[in-house]
Amino acid sequence: MKKYLIIWCCIMHTAAMAQQTTMYTYEGKFNSSFGRGDNYREFRGTLIVSGDRSLFTMKETGVHLPPVQANNLELRPDSMFTVFKDIESNSLLFEFSDMNQRTHLFADTLFPMDWKTSEEQRSIGGISCLKAVTQFKGRRYTAWYAPSITVPDGPWKLGGLPGLILEAYDDEDNWHMTYVGKQEVHDFDQDHFLSAIKNGIEGFPAFAAYVKKIFKRLEAALGAQSTANCVDCQTKSVVKFHSWEKID
For position 12, what pLDDT does the model report? 38
Check if the beta carbon of residue 168 is closer than 8 Å to that of residue 177.
Answer: yes
Residues 163, 145: Cα–Cα separation, whole Å: 6
Q: Under DSSP, is residue 239 helix (H, G, I), strand (E, B) or coil?
A: coil
Q: What total of structural domains would you count in the chain?
A: 1
Q: What is the pTM of this model?
A: 0.83
Asked whether residue 167 is assigned to any structural domain, the reply reads yes
Strands (E), 67-147: 82-86, 91-97, 103-108, 116-124, 127-136, 139-146
Asked whether residue 199 is assigned to any structural domain, the reply reads yes
Asked whether residue 85 is assigned to any structural domain, the reply reads yes
Asked whether residue 88 is assigned to any structural domain, the reply reads yes
**Average pLDDT of span 221-229:** 60
For position 230, what pLDDT does the model report? 56
Residues 158, 227: Cα–Cα separation, whole Å: 44
* Domain of residue 206, residue span: 23-226
Question: What would the pLDDT profile of 42-82 be if each residue is shown by its tens digit?
Answer: 999 999 999 999 999 999 986 655 554 545 555 544 567 89
Asked whether residue 233 is assigned to any structural domain, the reply reads no
Question: What would the pLDDT profile of 140-185 be if each residue is shown by its tens digit?
Answer: 999 999 999 999 999 999 999 999 999 999 999 999 999 999 999 9
Average pLDDT, the chain: 83
Asked whether residue 239 is assigned to any structural domain, the reply reads no
Question: What would the pLDDT profile of 119-134 be if each residue is shown by its tens digit?
Answer: 999 999 999 999 999 9
Asked whether residue 9 is assigned to any structural domain, the reply reads no
Asked whether residue 164 is assigned to any structural domain, the reply reads yes
